[in-house]
Amino acid sequence: MKLLFLIITLVISFEVRSDNSKISISLSKVLPEGMSVKSIKKSQIENIYIVDIGDLQPLYVSKDGEFFFYGELYAIQDNELENTTKHEINLKRKNILDNALRINDFISFFAKSEKFEVIIFTDVDCGYCRKFHNEMEDFNNLGITVHYLAFPRSGLDSASFDKIVTAWCSRNPKQTLTKMKQGQEVALSLCEDHPVAEHYLLGQKIGITGTPAIIKKNGELLPGYLSPEELLKRLNE
């Protein structure tokens, strides 16, 4: 019985490798320069594979590698539509963040009775970022811990970049960031050992285009400002 199981496993494994090879060879002929097949796995649909080409959005490719589509795939579950592509994107975003970040990358505001954690890409010169930060006590009181990452919207060669670098270089980052978000003048202090440029490039990689950008624990992106009550509702979904 064990031998039969081993034979079946080997046959399936060979078939999968064969399919993967066909798909890789076919796509390599048509993908734009700089793009390549990173990984291939089976989808929920028979003979359709999910292919990672380095973008957040996956490709869906036929078993023989002769057909593909780039778009959203929906499943019908209990008479409702489930966006399976969104699930794939969230999973990839989560994996990218988990692999790229260290605990000291963040400026964190912890809830005393923590129920949820969110990552937020923020900018000191963003009006809605300031509005969000001014309600930090309300977020924390609802059990929401906030981990900030830097995303100076004007880019790496900008006044906003220098300002937010100053917060991360400060001896008291939370206090300095709060002063900046309150519109107070803070003397620039630019150290070399800061993660702001890495945060900015990471944000671009996972689809951040504006601030505030809220990331749930499962990798889902909630773009824009949400009130404490609205965010709690979204986290409970």
Q: Do 196 and 110 sit in the same domain of this protein?
A: yes
Confirm whether 42 is domain-assigned: yes
pLDDT at residue 6 in the model: 35
Count how many domains the chain has. 2
Contact 151, 121 (CB under 8 A): yes
Contact 60, 50 (CB under 8 A): yes
Its domain, for residue 169, covers: 105-235
Contact 65, 25 (CB under 8 A): yes
Q: Do 109 and 52 sit in the same domain of this protein?
A: no
Token digits of residue 75 = 């499943």
Q: Do 170 and 222 sit in the same domain of this protein?
A: yes
Q: What CATH number is given to the structural domain containing 27?
A: 3.10.450.70
Strands 116-122 and 39-42: unpaired
Confirm whether 90 is domain-assigned: no
DSSP string, 64-114: TSS-EE-S--EEEETTEEEEHHHHHHHHHHHHHHHHH--GGG-EEE--TT-
Q: Tell me whether residue 191 is exposed, middle or buried, using C-beta atoms within 10 angstroms of its C-beta: 0 to 12, 13 to 18, 19 or more.
A: exposed
Give percent above pLDDT 70 in the chain.
92
7 has a pLDDT exceeding 80: no
For residue range 89-134, list pLDDT tens digits in order: 999 999 999 999 988 899 999 999 999 999 999 999 999 999 999 9
Q: Do 111 and 220 sit in the same domain of this protein?
A: yes
Q: Do 148 and 45 sit in the same domain of this protein?
A: no
Q: Do 213 and 137 sit in the same domain of this protein?
A: yes
Confirm whether 79 is domain-assigned: no
Confirm whether 127 is domain-assigned: yes
Q: What CATH number is given to the structural domain containing 227?
A: 3.40.30.10
**Neighbouring residues of 226: CB distance < 8 A, sequence distance ≥ 6:** 132, 214, 234
DSSP state of 19: H
Q: Do 59 and 112 sit in the same domain of this protein?
A: no
9 has a pLDDT exceeding 60: no
Q: Do 109 and 67 sit in the same domain of this protein?
A: no
